[in-house]
Structure 1
Amino acid sequence: MTETPFRPRETLIEKQKYYQGIHKHTYLKGPMDKITSVAIPLALAGSCLYLIGRGIYNMSHGVGKKE
C-alpha cells in the first residue's frame, strides 16, 4: 500500500532547483517573504516606538490622566 504524493515529483524538483539557485538569505527566498519578514516587523516596531514616545510625553507633561 503506497500513498499517492501530494504533488508530482517533477514539480517538487523544479521548486527545489528554484530555491537552491537563489543566493539570498533563506528567509527571503519566496516571492512574498519580504512582506512577512521585513515589512510587518518594521511596522510593529514603528508603532511600538510611537506609542512608547507618546506615553513618555504624556507622563512628563501630565497629559491624559484619568481622574
Structure 2
Amino acid sequence: MWYATLQQMVEEAPFRPREQLIERQKLFQSIHKHTHLKGPMDKITSVAIPLALAGSCMFLIGRGIYNMSHGIGKNE
C-alpha cells in the first residue's frame, strides 16, 4: 500500500518543465549579487519593507520617550 503511494509520488510531474528550471538556474547562478537580492522584486521585500518597519518603530519609540519625558497622554 505505501509502495503504491511512493511510486505515485516518484511518477508525479514537476511544477515546471526541466528546460525552464535549467534556464532559471543558469540565470540565478550568473548573477553576482547577494543571495537574498537575486530576484527582480527582492529589493522590495528584503530592503524596503524592513527599512519601513524599522523607521516606523524608531518614530514610535521616539514619540513614546518624548511623551513620557513631558508627561503627555497620562491616564489619571
Counterpart of 1:13 in structure 2 is 22
1 or 2 for the larger relative contact order (CA 8 Å, sep ≥6)?
1
The root-mean-square deviation of aligned C-alpha atoms, in Å, is 0.9
Output the CA distance in 1 between the equivalents of 2:69 and 2:12. 66
- What SS is found at the alignment partner of 1:20? helix
Q: Give the 4+ runs in structure 1 shifted more than 4 A.
A: none
Decide which structure has the larger Cα Rg and report it.
2
- What SS is found at the alignment partner of 2:40? coil
1:19-39 C-alpha deviation (Å, 9 max, x unpaired): 000000000000000000000
- Calculate the TM-score normalised by the size of structure 1: 0.95
Unaligned runs of 5+ in 2: 1-6
- Calculate the TM-score normalised by the size of structure 2: 0.84
Q: Would you say how many aligned residue pairs link Structure 1 and Structure 2?
A: 67
Output the CA distance in 2 between the equivalents of 1:44 and 1:4. 40
Unaligned runs of 5+ in 1: none
Counterpart of 2:3 in structure 1 is none
Q: Percent identity among equivalent residues?
A: 81
